[in-house]
Amino acid sequence: MNNPKVNLPIGVFDSGIGGISVLADLIKTLPYEKFIYYADTLYSPYGIRPEDTVRSLSIKVAEFLSFIGIKSLVVACNTATSAAIYEIRRMYTFPVIGMEPAVKPAVKLGGKGKILVMATPLTLKSKKFHELMHSYKRFADIIPFPCEKLVEIIEQDHADRRVIEDYLSRVFSSIDKEHISTIVLGCTHYALIKKEILKIVGNNINVIDGNSGTARQVKTVLQKEHLLNNGMSGKLSYPLKANVRFYVSGNKKEVITTCKQLLQNEGIVCSGEFSLSHYS
Ligand code: DGL
């Protein structure tokens, strides 16, 4: 018998536009699903706030999405995951999937040099990250690399390559690139500027994120819980048409345009309804 919850959307949230990098992989992996994307732009960035503030903000968004009705929640933000994932999981019976810096895949790559983890100050300070680093420190030299202000720059100037590259050149000038084998993008915003990062650090360094791994994990979990929507036909047309409803806190309509544009850059056209939230 079909589970009636199969037709509910999957909720995805981030402090801003960063989670769109995860949503793009989710849409490619789960093309028959409906999505609700929540950007908490009013309170962005999360990564420089106290942990308990980020926990309350994340719980509020989860409550909002759960009230609308979702079959699963993807916390498409490393910072919110490190601050609130256990509490959110305890609150709901639907599957809640979070992000964590892709240290394990980086170790598996087995490069000769150090692993640099770019993330927000809060993610790198968190207990969750310290436990992760502790589990892999036998296998590699892991260097936390907090990138203060980078989320703000991406929110404001994601399309201005010069501003992004200036910032990256400045922060990477203090790093001895010769000794780095892999850079982990431990913030979903940074995946949006992967090209610029590669340009600054060079192609000899692997630059990885956890987005496709998270999308595969969501699929596995939905399958296991009999919540996966397989669609009516096996045929997909390209560009992919995605059914996404957007909510943005702080009444910032232009954020929805940016989100749609970023998905379009990934070959995804949004065909769903669009909403705007005044939730604050
Ligand atoms: N995209 C969020 C992350 O993955 C950014 C957090 C922030 O708003 O500082 O950590």
pLDDT per residue as tens digits for the range 166-199: 999 999 998 988 899 999 999 999 999 999 999 9
CA dihedral angle for residue 224, residue 230, residue 234, residue 237, rounded to 10 degrees = -120
Rounded to the nearest 10 degrees, the angle between the axes of helix 78-91 and helix 127-136 is 110
Q: Is it true that the peptide bond before 9 is cis, omega within 30 degrees of 0?
A: no
Distance of CA 64 to the CA centre of its chain: 19
**Which helix (H) or strand (E) segment is 78 a member of?**
helix 78-91
Ligand 1 center to 262 CA (angstroms): 17
Question: CA 166, CA 175: separation in Å to the nearest integer?
Answer: 15
* pTM of this structure: 0.95
Residues facing residue 77 across a β-bridge: none
For the CA of 47, the closest atom of ligand 1 is 9
Question: CA 78, CA 100: separation in Å to the nearest integer?
Answer: 6
**148 to each of 153, 167, 213, how far by Cα in Å?**
10, 10, 26
For the CA of 76, the closest atom of ligand 1 is 4
Give residue-wise pLDDT tens across range 15-56: 999 999 999 999 999 999 999 999 999 999 999 999 999 999
* pLDDT at residue 271 in the model: 75
User: Token pair for residue 170?
Assistant: 């400045």
Q: Which residues of the chain have pLDDT under 70?
A: 1, 232-234, 272-280
* pLDDT at residue 226 in the model: 95
Residues facing residue 68 across a β-bridge: none
Q: Report the catalytic residues.
A: 77, 187
Q: Is 41 in the pocket of ligand 1 (CB under 6 A)?
A: no
Do 129 and 119 form a contact (C-beta atoms < 8 A)?
yes
